[in-house]
Amino acid sequence: MPRSRVVTFAILAALVGVFFLYAFWPRPMLVDIGEITQGHMMVTIDEEAKARVRDVYVVSTPAAGRLLRVDVDPGDLVEEGRSVVARMLPTNPSVLDVRTEEQASAAVAAAEAALELAEAEAARADADLALARTRRDRFASLVEEEAASQAALDQADRDLRAAAAAARSARASIGMRDADLRSARAMLMDFAAADGDAPAAGAQPTEAISIRAPVSGVVLKVVNESEVTLPAGAEIMRLGNPTADLEIVAELLSPEAVRVSPGDAVLVERWGGAGALDGVVERVEPWAFTKVSALGVEEQRANVIVRLDCEQAEHAGLGHGYRVHVRIVVWEKDDAVIAPANALFRQGDDWAAFVVEDGKARARIVKVGRGNGRETEIVEGLAPGDEIVLYPSDAVSDGSSVRRRG
């Protein structure tokens, strides 16, 4: 074949070759590329939590009585010992009906009658005592004249002593009946007072008892606001100090609670204000309880109490029962070598990642430490600044040409 034809063939083949090279040249795959960084990384346990005032004071009725309408509202500031938070009337004229009034009148009449009877009894007892004395004195003079027996004198002594006792008893009975009468009269007097009459003479005027705040803080919740008759010990309101006395309670799943220790740092987020609040785990309660989760599953949970570790002014506005989100730091490191978790994949028993070197992906085995779902600590195999392929698909393999997407 003449040389010119060889040249022609070569040129044609070259042209065809160029076409097919262009067509089939493996183009770099588009991938997302991330970087290994070094810095702060932490593993946290996240949970929904609630803020609560540590010490909630319950203001309750000191005695049975009528609670007057409560004027304070939740949120009002109160001062210990000075702010009056509630007032009550100690008695209880709550049932103001005719039958009771009649009964009270009858009780007075009965008491009066009983007193009269007691006085009559006392008069009789006195008379019996005078007679008994006279008899004893006569018998005593008779014994001296040996006109009567010693036995008769003893009898007369005994009679005298009996009569004296009866007289004392009668006297006591009068006192008792007198007290009854006074009491009955007092009850009747209250009716009169309730009816708007002038208090009966001898009756005591009733005054409202002021109940003062036992502690400085704010009113958290008013349980009984309206005027109502309450027994003793009934709850009126709750007080507390959310600014100074706030803590966070999180209900952790028991396996998570195991991993938390007092002293762990906590980030309190989504509390409604700017930024995250700092907190510290104060204690982990050892008692777990059953609770149905939002997903409808029954789980064992334990309370973890978090103390807020910041200035009071920083968490102003956070109240009792407010919902927050806590992240309890169970592990952190300041100079961890961090890889995005999605870049790592399993290769046999090891973890690996694709490092981008000169436009090619190279598989590299790595040793990993802790991971928090988004970031994974790299112990060995990658260095800060290395570029790695994120979310490597099956199409990426060792030696593939890759290019940054976008």
Partner 1 sequence: MIGMRMKALDLKLIRDIWRIKGQALAISLVQASGIALLVMSLGMIASLTETMTAYYDRYRFADIFAAATRAPELALEELRSIEGVSAVEGRVVGGGLVDIEGVDAPITAQFVSRSADATAPLNDVHIVRGRAPDPVRGDEILLLEAFADAHGLEPGDSLPVTVYGARRVFRIAGVALSPEYVYAIAPGALAVDDDRFAVIWASYDTLAPAFNLDGAFNEAVFRLARGVDAARVIPEIDRILAPYGGRGAYDNGDQVSNRFLSEELRQLTAMAFIMTPIFMSVTIFLLNVVISRMVQTEREQIGLLKSFGYTGGEIGAHYAKFALFIAIVGAAIGWLGGLYLGRVMTGIYQEYYRFPFLLFETDLRTIIYAAGLSVLGAGFGAITAVRAAVALLPAEAMRPPAPEFFRNAKGATKGFSLPLDRPTRMILRRIARRPFRSLALVFGIAAAMGLSVMMQFNHAAINHILHASFRVIDRSDMTVRFTEAIDEAAALELSKLDGVTHVEPFRDAAVIFVNGGKEHLGSITGVTSAPTLNRVLDDELRPAPVPESGLLLSAPLAQLLSADVGDEIEVRFREGRRPTISIEIVGLIDVMIGTPAYMSIEDLNARLMEPGRVSGAYLSVAPDARAALQRRTKEIPQLAAISVREEVLTNFEQMLSEGPGVFRVIMTFFATVIAVGVVYNGARITFAERRHDLASLRILGFTKAEAGYVVTGEIVTLAIAALPIGAVIGVLLWTYISTALSTELYQVPTVYDPAGLGVAGCTVVFAALVASFLIQKDVDKLDMASALKARD
Per CB under 8 A, residues contacting partner 1 are: 2, 4-5, 7-8, 12, 15-16, 19-20, 22-25, 27, 30, 46-48, 253, 256, 293-297, 341-342, 345-346, 371, 373-374, 391, 393, 395, 405-406
The 3-state secondary structure of 37-101 reads EEEEEEEEEEEEEEEEECCCEEEECCCCEEECCCCCCCCCEECCCCCEEEEEECCCCCCCCHHHH
Q: Which is nearer to partner 1, 46 or 178 (CB)?
A: 46
Measured over all CA atoms, what is the biggest interatomic distance in the chain, rounded to whole angstroms? 192
Closest approach of partner 1 to the CB of residue 369, in Å: 15
d(CA 190, CA 205): 9
Of 213, 211, 212, 217, nearest in space to 240 by CA: 217
Closest approach of partner 1 to the CB of residue 393, in Å: 5
DSSP 401: B
Q: Which is nearer to partner 1, 27 or 82 (CB)?
A: 27
d(CA 88, CA 62): 9
Question: What distances in angstroms separate CA 29 from CA 150, 354, 359, 392, one per listed residue?
Answer: 139, 13, 10, 11
Q: Which is nearer to partner 1, 57 or 351 (CB)?
A: 351
Closest approach of partner 1 to the CB of residue 68, in Å: 39
Show Cβ contacts of residue 213 under 8 Å, excluding neighbours closer than 6 positions: 59, 78, 79, 80, 81, 82, 83, 84, 85, 239
Closest approach of partner 1 to the CB of residue 221, in Å: 23
Q: Judge contact between 341 and 376, C-beta under 8 A.
A: yes
Closest approach of partner 1 to the CB of residue 301, in Å: 11
Q: Which is nearer to partner 1, 365 or 383 (CB)?
A: 365
Q: Which is nearer to partner 1, 81 or 373 (CB)?
A: 373
Closest approach of partner 1 to the CB of residue 295, in Å: 5
